[in-house]
Amino acid sequence: MKQKILVVDDESETVELVAFNLKQAGYDVISAADGEEALKKAKAQLPALVVLDWMLPEMEGVEVCKLMRRDSATAGIPVIMLTAKASEIDRVLGLELGADDYLTKPFSPRELVLRIKKILDRKKSKDADVQTLTMGELVIDVPRHLASWKGKKIDLTATEFKLLTVLVQRRGRVQSRDQLLRDVWEYDSMIDTRTVDTHMRRLREKLGPAAKFLDTVRGVGYRFVE
Amino acid sequence: MKQKILVVDDESETVELVAFNLKQAGYDVISAADGEEALKKAKAQLPALVVLDWMLPEMEGVEVCKLMRRDSATAGIPVIMLTAKASEIDRVLGLELGADDYLTKPFSPRELVLRIKKILDRKKSKDADVQTLTMGELVIDVPRHLASWKGKKIDLTATEFKLLTVLVQRRGRVQSRDQLLRDVWEYDSMIDTRTVDTHMRRLREKLGPAAKFLDTVRGVGYRFVE
DNA sequence: CGGCCTTGTCACCTGTTCGTAACATTGGCG
DNA sequence: CGCCAATGTTACGAACAGGTGACAAGGCCG
């Protein structure tokens, strides 16, 4: 499975040069010519990394970078900025705004590839390090608030995520509705215990096939089975 | 049924030495040469124990250990670390990260086998120790709300489960119907004492052969005998 | 401001469970 | 052996618990 990289530049020459070298290095490459297209593709295709030109028509590269950081779907994707200006100010700014590295034009394609490799490797080992709970094909990344089934992301709301997390952390043991209300909602239930049922239903809906883990124990509560 | 042991080391000599001795001792042995392979095999084959070299190409042995702990499938598998470094710091670190024991190279294969045996024995008795009430072949796991007879699950309703639990916890002593009503139903019986009889009957039906534990003491009440 | 998403509540519906009563069986005792 | 109380068994309606769909209030974002 090749890693996908999004290259954003309005000069088609640069795009082609970069794309060629990246493909040589074994990456999949997609491209965008302006900021809007870049954001759309980033969100739709979730590349492993984005190479972003500083100067873009319509929207500044900085702007794209900032917007990517705002959207949780793309917030984690590393960005390398390409800039024609060599001034230090720009560099710092770029990094402060969330770029992971930068290169000044003209740059050596070889160096770009090396930097990309470095960033992706660093990210990989970091990703493996975060606290994740894995239940067969179901993976829950607690600090990142991400859940996935067979590698496919599951969109959960805050409450749903917490409910799932609590159940998984106490996997095997039955949790009464009261207990869940205390642990998930965190204060003594001004809340109807039946609300738990509704959230369980929504959770099951979203989990799809993974819902088989969520077990109802009639008269007692719910349980996450392995 | 032999127990399976995964040996992870990049030096094939070490692997063979260890594998030979373990096979002699009656274990099944599988092996892996690097961290990634180790994780894959651990997850796929679920060995009873992993012997893990501290130094591995690509990924540190520590890393493998940490990742194994994260995945519920492998979290419970004991790990013995092999290390060339004899420094105390490394030892402590390894143990803190979830290894169960360690050996410094060069080590005596005989000692390795002994330690493995010890760990597996300890684990066995610990597994049986979790919060369960065991009456011969009848096992009651209160937090999980599971009852089983000879490993086969018994479906009980909430009331039946509680009734059984109370009887087992006071095993040997006769419980009057009034007492059972108080302990199982939790409030002063607006309820007919004959109701207890009905529930006892249902319980006996579901327990099948295990119903022999449920004893009627004429004129007094019921008792769980061993 | 207006639309969308989240979230807590309801009301409805279904299958399950429970309590009870009626009937059958058992066991102790004279 | 036969009686009677205690217990086992069966059946059934009522109550209940949980799934489900709908909805309104609040929050967030553009």
Q: Give the DSSP letter string of A201-219.
A: HHHHHHHGGGGGGEEEETT
What's the CA gap between A32 and A4, in Å, rounded?
A: 13
Which residue among B73, B144, B157 sits closest to A219, beta carbon to beta carbon? B157
- Distance set, CA B212 to CA A173, B37, B166, B203, B204 (Å): 28, 51, 17, 11, 8
Phi, psi angles (nearest 5°) of residue B81: -95, 140
Q: Which residues of B98-127 are buried (b: 16+ CB within 10 A; e: fewer)?
A: bbbbbbeeebebeebbebbeebeeebeeee
Predicted local distance difference test score (pLDDT) of residue B50: 92
B63/A223 Cβ within 8 A: no
CB within 8 Å: B144 and A172: yes
Contact B72 A218 (CB under 8 A): no
CB contact under 8 A, A219 and B70: no
Domains and CATH numbers, chain B: 4-127 (3.40.50.2300), 132-224 (1.10.10.10)
Inter-chain contacts counted by CB atoms under 8 A, chains A and B: 33
Q: Choose, out of A131, A135, A174, A225, the residue to mutate when testing the contact with B (most B CBs < 10 Å).
A: A174
Higher pLDDT residue, B87 or A112? A112
The verdict on a CB contact (< 8 Å) between A128 and B73 is no
Give pLDDT tens digits for A117-129: 877 876 665 555 5
DSSP character for B182? I
Which residue, B61, B110, B118, B111, is CA-closest to B90?
B61
Q: With an 8 Å Cβ cutoff, is A179 touching chain B?
A: no
Give me the pLDDT at residue B71, please: 76
* Rg of chain B, C-alpha, whole Å: 25
Strand B49-53 with B4-8, pairing: parallel
Q: Could you tell me whether strands B101-104 and B79-83 are parallel, antiparallel, or unpaired per DSSP bridges?
A: parallel
pLDDT of A48-100, one tens digit each?
A: 888 888 777 655 676 777 777 665 556 668 888 887 665 544 544 444 555 67
Contact between A48 and A77 under an 8 Å Cβ cutoff? The reply is: yes
Residue from B68, B36, B73 nearest B50 by CA = B68
Give per-residue pLDDT as tens, B14-24: 888 889 888 88
Q: Which of B63, B73, B157 sits opposite A218 (nearest CB)?
A: B157
Q: Is residue B226 pLDDT above 60, yes or no?
A: yes
DSSP state of A99: -
Q: Name the residue type at position A24.
A: Q
Q: For B151-186, how does the pLDDT look when each residue is reduced to its tens digit (9 = 90+)? A: 899 999 999 999 999 998 888 888 888 888 888 987
Q: What is the rounded average pLDDT of the residues B121-133?
A: 65
Most confident listed range (A141-145, A184-188, B221-225): B221-225
Q: Across the beta sheet with B221-224, what order do the strands follow?
A: B175-176, B221-224, B214-217
Distance, CA of A171 to CA of B76 (rounded, Å): 14
Predicted pLDDT at A88: 44
Determine the average pLDDT of the residues in B119-125.
74
Return the nearest residue to C6, CA–C1'.
Answer: A157
Q: What percent of chain A has pLDDT over 90?
A: 19
A126 CA to chain B: closest CA distance, Å? 11
Answer whether A171 sits within 8 Å of B72, measured CB to CB. Answer: yes
Residue A144: its chain B contacts at CB < 8 A? none
- List, chain by chain, residues whose CB lies under 7 Å from nucleic acid strand D: A 70, 177, 194, 197-198, 200-201, 204, 216-221; B 194, 197-198, 200-201, 204, 216-221
pLDDT tens profile B43-79: 889 999 999 887 777 667 777 887 887 777 787 788 8
Mean predicted lDDT score pLDDT of chain A: 80
Strand partners, B40: none
Does residue B87 have a pLDDT over 70? no
Q: Which of A62-76, A158-172, A194-208 has the highest mean pLDDT?
A: A194-208
Provide the pLDDT for residue B29: 93
Is A158 within 8 Å of A186 (Cβ atoms)?
no
What pLDDT is attached to residue A71? 59
Tell me the CB-side half-sphere exposure of residue A185, using CA atoms within 13 A: 16
Tell me the mean pLDDT in the region B29-52. 90
Burial class (CB within 10 angstroms; exposed 0-12, middle 13-18, buried 19+) of A5: buried
Cβ–Cβ below 8 Å for A219 and B67: no
Nucleotide showing the shortest C1' distance to residue B196 CA: C19
A220: nearest CB among B63, B71, B145: B145
Return d(Cα B172, Cα B46) in angstroms, integer. Answer: 41
The β-bridge partners of B152 are: B149
How far is it, in rounded angstroms, from Cα A99 to Cα A31?
18
pLDDT digits (tens, 9 = 90+) for A27-42: 888 888 888 788 878 8
Enumerate the nucleotides of strand C whose atoms come under 7 Å of any protein CB.
5-11, 16-22, 27-28
- Amino acid at the residue B139: V
From chain A, the residues in CB contact with B142 under 8 A are none
**Cβ pair B144:A223 closer than 8 A:** yes
Show which of residues 67-96 on chain A sit within 8 Å of chain B, judged by CB atoms. Answer: none
**Would the pTM count as exceeding 0.75?**
no
- Nearest Cα neighbor of A213 from A128, A141, A134 is A134
Determine the residue among A173, A179, A215 to mutate to test chain B binding: the one whose Cβ has the most chain B Cβ atoms within 10 Å.
A173
Residue with more model confidence, A4 or B100: A4
Under 8 Å between Cβ of B77 and B48:
yes
Q: Give how far A209 is from chain B: nearest CA, Å.
A: 19
In angstroms, the CA A182 to CA A192 distance is: 12
